[in-house]
Structure 1
Amino acid sequence: MEKKMLGHQPNHVTKEERVENLWKKLIRQETDLSEETIAWMALRIRQLTEYMPYGCALIAYRKQNGEFYMARGTLIYYESDFHRKYDIERIKNHVAYWDIEQQGWRTFQIENFLEWRPIV
């Protein structure tokens, strides 16, 4: 779909762009990271949330107390457990995932995200 320009802003923003912009704003408010790092974090979190409904990921983040944590997580069971589709627009400041090792639903704060990799 072609984006039309109104002044300097496009009049059509995708759901993904809207969510990434919200996450960037949140990260900017909660950290003193560079704009480049904030954009990278928002993109990587979106990629993670797009991957997890179909597979397992190794997720690195800092807990609220500052401790480093690495989880093996997935969203494969989300629809059966919550009886609705996973929607990234519902993510305001925490990302939910099923922790494979702890066998339970967990969350991490967006601004504490570090990186993720697929588990194959």
Structure 2
Amino acid sequence: MKKQTLGHQPNHVTKEERVESLWKKLIRQEIDLSDETIAWMTRRILQLTDYMAYGCALIAYRKQNGEFYMARGTLVYYEAHFHRKYDIEHIRNHVVYWDIEQQGWRTFQIENFLEWKPVVN
């Protein structure tokens, strides 16, 4: 994990730390949750996106209409389809993934994330 220096500041911040900080602010604006819960959500989403680059995950979240949804998702095909690397810094409000059952790209809002687990065949 490469650390980057922010301008003249002596602090070193990783990409993951920058993203986690941004997501915490975005989630806090949308829903009223404890700081601990928001921190947990952001860590779990980071772990999810890392895992989906190489495997399939079962993802639980709420749709925009409030319905519970569970999907088997992956990012294995992302680079081949979009012709660029998956970059978590581009995630602002929505996480994109390939829905294996529906055979299409889908998204969920970060504040609607509930949990995920690896799918092992």
Which category describes the TM-score, using the shorter chain as reference length? over 0.9
Measure, in 1, the Cα distance between the counterparts of 2:67 and 2:99. 17
Which secondary structure does the structure 1 equivalent of 2:33 belong to? coil
Matches within 5 A, 1:17-32: 17-32=17-32
1:83 aligns with 2:74: no
Post-superposition shift, 1:85?
0.5
SS of 2:71's equivalent in the other structure is strand
Structure 1 alignment gaps of length 5 or more: none
Counterpart of 2:100 in structure 1 is: 100
Equivalent residue number for residue 14 of structure 2: 14
Q: CA 1:84–1:102 in 2, change beyond 3 Å: closer, same or farther?
A: same
1:25-52 Cα deviation digits (max 9, x unpaired): 0000000000000000000000000000
- Percentage identity across paired residues of the two chains: 83
2:117 pairs with 1:117 = yes
AA in 1 matched with 2:31: T
Cα distance, 1:58–1:10 mapped onto 2, change above 3 Å: farther
CA deviations over 1:92-117 (Å, ceiling 9, x no partner): 11000000000000000000000000
- In the alignment, residue 99 of structure 1 is paired with which amino acid? D
How big is the alpha-carbon RMSD for the aligned residues of Structure 1 and Structure 2? 1.8
* Distance in 2, Cα, partners of 1:38 & 1:110: 10
Residue 114 of structure 1 aligns to a residue in which SS?
strand
Letter in 1 for 2:39: A
Q: For 1:115 and 1:88, how far apart are their aligned partners in 2?
A: 18
